[in-house]
Structure 1
Amino acid sequence: MSNNTKRWQNIDFEKLVGLLLPTFLRKRKMLAWLRMWVAPLKSLHYDFFQKRNALNGDLYRLAHNGQVCYLRKMLNDNFDPEKRRIRILDGNKFRRKYIYTRGENKPIYLGKMYLRGRSDYADTGVDFIVEIPKEVSELHRTEQNGAERFYAIEAYVDFYRLAGKRYKIVSN
Structure 2
Amino acid sequence: MNKYTILKWEKLLLWLIPPILRKRTHAQWLHVLLTPIRSIYDETLYKMQHTGQVIYLEKVLNEAFNPYNNYDPNLSTEQKRSNELIYIDESVKPTLQYVYLHKEIYEPDHILSDGTIVKDKLLIPQLEIYTHNEYKDRDNKPVYLAHRKDYTTIAYANFRVFIPESLIKAGNIVVQSAEDNSSSAPIKVANIEYHNLLNFYKLAGKSYESYAYLPDPD
TM > 0.5 between the two?
A: yes
- The question of whether the paired residues in 2 share the 8 Å contact of 1:137 and 1:150 is answered with no
Across the two proteins, how many residue pairs are aligned to each other? 129
Number of the residue aligned with 1:70:
56
Q: Does 1:136 align with 2:122?
A: no
Number of the residue aligned with 2:88:
88
Q: Gaps spanning 5+ residues in structure 1: where?
A: 16-42, 100-110
- The question of whether the paired residues in 1 share the 8 Å contact of 2:178 and 2:188 is answered with no
Which of 148, 168, 172 is the equivalent residue of 2:209?
168
Task: Give CA deviations for 1:112-171 in whole Å, capped at 9, x if unaligned.
Answer: 211114xx6885422111111111133213324646421322332122111111111111
Number of the residue aligned with 1:104:
none
The CA RMSD measured in Å over matched residues stands at 3.7
Q: Does 1:156 align with 2:160?
A: no
Give the share of equivalent positions with the same residue, in percent. 24
What letter corresponds to residue 49 of structure 1 in structure 2? R
- The question of whether the paired residues in 1 share the 8 Å contact of 2:168 and 2:175 is answered with no
Number of the residue aligned with 2:129:
113
List structure 1 segments (4+ residues) > 4 angstroms apart after TM superposition: 4-11, 96-99, 120-123
CA distance in 2, matches of 1:5, 1:87: 32
CA distance in 1, matches of 2:176, 2:44: 32
CA distance in 2, matches of 1:70, 1:159: 12
CA distance in 2, matches of 1:130, 1:96: 25
Number of the residue aligned with 1:126:
157
TM-score by length of structure 2 reads 0.47
TM-score by length of structure 1 reads 0.58
Distance 1:113 1:67, change over 3 A: same
Distance 1:73 1:50, change over 3 A: closer
CA distance in 1, matches of 2:128, 2:39: 61
Number of the residue aligned with 1:19:
none
Secondary structure (helix, strand or coil) at the match of 1:126 reads coil
